[in-house]
Amino acid sequence: MKSIAFIAAASVLMAPGVSLAQKTAAKPDFTLDPNYGSVRLESGFTPDPWTKSILAGGSVPTSAAKSGCEGKVSAAPDLQLNYEAGSLDLTVMATADEDTTLLINSPDGQWYCDDDSGGGLNPKVVISGPQSGRYDIWVGTYDDNMVQSTLQISELGGSNAASGSAPNMDLEPNYGTANLRGGFTPDPWTKSILAGGSVPASAAKSGCEGKVSAAPDIQIFFEPGEGDLTFRVRASEDTTLLVNTPNGRFYCDDDGAGGLDPKVTITNPQSGRYDIWVGTYSDSMVQSTLEVSELD
C-alpha cells in the first residue's frame, strides 16, 4: 500500500505544469520554469496578436505579488515573453468563457494586473513605452477551477475585434475613405457621421470612453505638411472620439474640444492611414460632424 501511495504522489509531481515548488509556494514566483514555455517577439511581429492557449488558474493569490490584484494563479508563470520593444505600446490580454484575471511582471520588476478592462470578463493590460526584456505572465481565475483561455500579445491593441467585441481597423469603414495632403482646402475637411455602436472604445485602449461600431467610421490617408493634425466632432449630444494612427497607436478623447465635443490633436503626424471612430454613451445613434484640420 505504501508503494501505491508513493507512485500516486510521484505521478502528481511529474504531471505537466506541476512541481513541488508550485504546490507549496505562497506567491507568484518568476524564477520557476513557465508552464507553457517561452516566446521571443520583436516589435513589428506577425501575426499580431500572437496567441497561446492556456489553462488559467491555480491556488496562489495574485495579491501576494501586488496588493489589490485579484484572482488565483499558479506559482510558476504561465508564459515567459522575451520582447524587443519598438515605439508601440504592448498589450497583453486573455479571452475566456469565464471570468479571468491577468498578472504580469515586467523587465524592471514592476507588477501589472487587471480584471475586466478587455471588455466583459476579459482582462487586459496595456504597457505604454514598454522596455525590452523578459515579461512573466500569469492568467488567473476567481476559484480553484482551471479555465481554458487564450492569451493574446499585441502591439495593435488585441484581436477580440474579430468577434465584433472591439474596434477593428481591418473592417471596411462605414463612410468610406478620404485622401488628404498637407495644406488641404477647405480646412476643416468635414464628414457627416452617425455616431455610436455597441462596441466599447476601451476594448481598443484602456481608459477610452463611449461605444462605437466595430468598423471604423472613416479611413483617412494623410500626407502631412508642416502643421499638426486635429480631429474634432460636433454634435448636439455627448460624443467620444477614437483614432488609430499609422504606427498602430490609439488616441481617444471625450470633451477635449469644450462642452460635450471630443478633440484629438496629433503633433508631428505621420504619413499613412488614420482609422477614426465616433462614439456615444448609449446604444442610440447620434448625428454628428467630423472635422479634420491642420489649423485648429
Q: Could you tell me which residue, 149 or 162, shows the higher pLDDT? A: 149
Our count of domains for the chain comes to 2
Domain boundary among 125, 158, 191: 158
Instruction: Look at residue 136 and tell me if it is in a domain.
Output: yes
Q: Looking at the structure, tell me whether residues 153 and 193 fall in a common domain.
A: no
Q: Looking at the structure, tell me whether residues 15 and 135 fall in a common domain.
A: yes
Residues 6+ apart with CB under 8 A from 178: 189, 191, 218, 219, 220, 221
CATH at 113: 2.60.120.380
Q: Quick one: average pLDDT of 18-33?
A: 69
Q: Quick one: average pLDDT of 4-26?
A: 42
| Three cell numbers written together for 274 | 488614420
Q: Looking at the structure, tell me whether residues 128 and 190 fall in a common domain.
A: no
Instruction: Look at residue 258 and tell me if it is in a domain.
Output: yes
Q: Looking at the structure, tell me whether residues 154 and 21 fall in a common domain.
A: yes
Q: Quick one: average pLDDT of 200-209?
A: 89
3-class DSSP state for residue 211? strand
Instruction: Look at residue 169 and tell me if it is in a domain.
Output: no
The yes-or-no verdict on residue 164 having pLDDT over 80 is no
In the prediction, which pLDDT does 145 show? 85
Nearest 5°: the CA angle 200, 41, 122 is 25
Please report, rounded to a whole number, the percentage of residues in the chain having pLDDT higher than 90. 62
Q: Looking at the structure, tell me whether residues 211 and 246 fall in a common domain.
A: yes
The yes-or-no verdict on residue 192 having pLDDT over 70 is yes
Q: Looking at the structure, tell me whether residues 136 and 215 fall in a common domain.
A: no
Instruction: Look at residue 68 and tell me if it is in a domain.
Output: yes
The whole-angstrom separation of Cα 255 and Cα 56 is: 39
Instruction: Look at residue 2 and tell me if it is in a domain.
Output: no
Instruction: Look at residue 194 and tell me if it is in a domain.
Output: yes
Q: Looking at the structure, tell me whether residues 85 and 118 fall in a common domain.
A: yes
Q: Looking at the structure, tell me whether residues 67 and 129 fall in a common domain.
A: yes
The yes-or-no verdict on residue 162 having pLDDT over 90 is no
Q: Could you tell me which residue, 171 or 25, shows the higher pLDDT? A: 171
Taking only the tens place, the pLDDT of each residue in 210-245 is 999 888 999 999 999 988 999 999 999 999 999 999
Domain boundary among 100, 127, 158: 158
Q: DSSP assignment, residue 48? A: S
Domain containing 255 equals 177-293
In the prediction, which pLDDT does 25 show? 57
Q: Looking at the structure, tell me whether residues 141 and 21 fall in a common domain.
A: yes
Q: Looking at the structure, tell me whether residues 222 and 269 fall in a common domain.
A: yes
Instruction: Look at residue 79 and tell me if it is in a domain.
Output: yes
The whole-angstrom separation of Cα 25 and Cα 60 is: 7
Domain boundary among 158, 193, 216: 158
Instruction: Look at residue 3 and tell me if it is in a domain.
Output: no
Q: Looking at the structure, tell me whether residues 137 and 272 fall in a common domain.
A: no
Taking only the tens place, the pLDDT of each residue in 67-122 is 999 999 999 999 999 999 998 899 999 988 889 999 999 999 999 999 988 877 88
Q: Looking at the structure, tell me whether residues 149 and 17 fall in a common domain.
A: yes
How many Å is the maximal CA-CA distance in the chain?
88
The yes-or-no verdict on residue 5 having pLDDT over 80 is no
In the prediction, which pLDDT does 158 show? 54
Distances (CA, A) of 84 to 63, 108, 160, 224: 28, 14, 24, 29
Query: What is this structure's pTM?
Result: 0.51
